[in-house]
A and B are shown apart, each in its own frame.
Chain A
């Protein structure tokens, strides 16, 4: 689904990302881990054509993302709060995203109603603008908005950060369900090794912009990751 070739990004001569080749097949739940500055967000930003690659390219469903915009209809993402529109209520935000993705209000309502558990009664019908919600609740709204319109590729940067334990567990369920039953390609990044091994079939470790480990998740993965990061 997503092919990366010879991708590199330099800022003023500083290499922040350098991936010779990375293929992510359709329907895989893919986890990206690494310390701060390892290049996780840079990779996602390149994938969304928010920054320009220095060399190489990413192809999503055979569409080169920095040349054509045709990847947009089947891709959605929640990277940070700058993906939220602060002066809308959660419902209005969902409808707006829905409208951009060709979903009417009924479609959006149907999708969103599946996440009532996840929202824990703190998002819908609040009569509050998104900017007035807490960080955690903003994140919940952003993540669910990224699922509107049956995207084939979902990109979530640090989805577990700022969430309470109950929500983290529910989110894990949602992500697993996406990849397993709906065939969605899910890309997440996280600093929490436990969550990532729980959710992802495959984990790639980035270090200073380079892929240093590429693991199919198994019983031993968590131990291996912990060993890697404790050095």
Chain B
């Protein structure tokens, strides 16, 4: 049975219209994975000696156990944003003679094989071996390693529980941030010392191996809870179909001032506001806007002007990156309608452009208070904003003409919580790194002001040639019209 389910997924991967594209992404992810493996391996090999050197008086294992709290918390947050429960289209399987428990076990089991669970092994195993060669009792070390593996798996399943609950709320990442921030604060101000608590727990397991039963029971408990959650969703009327809410309509008449692109802008605004997946990109705005606050208060970053541009492009362009990269896939569900309607392609694209450019302006204006950390920051943000409007918008629109992956906005699959994972940030890399690299180079060779000026000038050139660029982009879209229609017609 498992073989059958595996072969289904194999086929859905290799036979999908976006196969080529996702293969490229997979390769890139492979490199990222390799990178992390090397880092973890280095950590595992070096940790013992580093700790020994830093704290010569103490037992490195005890010190490490003291840090495990931060690892657990960090892992949980990282997974929340990047790891998604494996998606599977379960609806066709429901009426077939496959036990529902089997489907759930399969999905959960598959999540256990996630890369996130293997990564810690690269650190745990070498560290454990080094411990043993340094005269630690083998049995105890093995139990300690086992405990860490069990905790990793527990985090894995805990993450899905958190995701399944938070997916129902609008600000899905807020509860987790508040919770982990709270725990961190309690710990930091020594109100409740979780570091000691977690550290002592691991020390205890190391000293009396019988205590390993406790994490095992926790893991089983989390698994069963996940099982129950997913099992409930395997009915057409619960998980697969959501309750219909009464809707409020708004006429968005203010968009009329944008002339002939008004109908498309109204449509785009409704698209963003009325679909869960797009709505999350609105909340991302808040995150992007406040992103600078993570860095600017720290004096280290004050001497790194190239970093201002990175923050500038990111915080003024977060909507651009998030929304722009899925043009025109957002409209893939009704692409045939648009293509047979009486519309000008250029208007359709111009509406998207206007929306993105507006978002950059608004985000820049909201970000003006950053001037508090220095006028250079504001100047760099201003240059970055102009660059975003003039260059990045056009680049991302052009990139969209290669888009072949359908986004199913109407889908309410039980196993699809947020729909996007690490992949959605990939496209942001060139958009961020190119201006940053260019700026860093000019800043190094000439001066900060000239670097800002050149970035701004590039943006202005883009704005001046906007009409021409849009003409080229439109031609590109028209060229791939039939391919897009065909790809958007497929369901995977």
Contacts and interface: CB of A to CB of B under 8 A. Distances in A.
A82 B335 contact: yes
Given A86-B410, A127-B247, A128-B244, A52 B337 contact: no
The 7 closest A-B pairs by CB, nearest first: A87-B274, A99-B263, A83-B337, A48-B340, A72-B342, A86-B410, A132-B244
A84 B274 contact: no
A100 B334 CA distance: 15
A52 B480 CA distance: 12
Interface in A74-114: 75-77, 79-80, 82-89, 91-92, 96-97, 99-102
A58 B92 CA distance: 39
Contact count band on A = 20 to 34
B340 A72 contact: yes
Interface of B: 244, 246-249, 262-263, 266-267, 270-271, 274-275, 333-337, 339-343, 409-410, 482, 485-486, 489
A77 B482 CA distance: 18
Nearest to B263: A99
A51 B482 contact: yes
6 contacts: A50-B482, A85-B333, A87-B271, A87-B275, A89-B249, A99-B262
B340 A77 contact: yes
B263 A51 contact: no
A49 B340 contact: yes
A155 to B, nearest CB: 9
Contacts of A131: 410
Contacts of B270: 87-88, 92
A73 interface: yes
Contacts of A82: 333-337, 489
- Most chain B C-beta atoms within 10 Å of own C-beta, residue among A51, A79, A97, A100: A100
A156 B230 CA distance: 41
A129 interface: yes
Nearest to A85: B334
B45 to A, nearest CB: 52
Contacts of B247: 89, 127-129
B485 A84 contact: no
Nearest to B345: A69
A99 B341 CA distance: 11
Given A77-B340, A129-B274, A83 B482 contact: no
Given A72-B340, A72-B341, A87 B263 contact: no
Given A86-B410, A87-B275, A132-B244, A100 B340 contact: no
